[in-house]
Amino acid sequence: MRDGMEPVRVMILDKEYMVACPPDEKDGLLNSAHLLDKRMREVRDSGKVHGPDRVAVMAALNLTHELLQTRDDQKETAKLVEDRVRAMEERIGQILPDS
């Protein structure tokens, strides 16, 4: 293993994978693997997708869609907050005299 990396065993759809990971990122890796395993099982158990490669691709597409939706939602929220702060600054500027 490279310096500062440690092997971490993750299980996804009953298959074991060894992944090199910095020690401070181990929890994140394990959480990610757990979520991926859960989503792949959901796709597989739906009965609509067959084969581990197709299950993996569908799970990845679903997770990516959720990630992009969350990012878009955060951008929208940031814009709303920015607009409200700007409106508050304008109102404060109208009420308080310039120094």
Residue 76 lies in a domain: yes
pTM: 0.73
d(CA 16, CA 76): 39
Give the pLDDT confidence score for residue 2 in this predicted structure.
Answer: 61
What 3-state class would DSSP assign to 2? coil
Residue 69 lies in a domain: yes
Q: Which domain holds residue 59?
A: 6-95
Residue 1 lies in a domain: no
- Tell me the CATH number at 26: 3.30.160.880
Q: What is the pLDDT along the chain (99 residues), one digit of tens a residue?
A: 567 899 999 999 999 999 999 999 999 999 999 999 999 999 999 988 889 999 999 999 999 999 999 999 999 999 999 999 999 998 888 888 775
In contact, 49 and 58? CB cutoff 8 Å: yes
Residue 18 lies in a domain: yes
Q: What is the DSSP letter of 25?
A: G
Total domains, the chain: 1
Give the pLDDT confidence score for residue 96 in this predicted structure.
Answer: 86
Residue 64 lies in a domain: yes
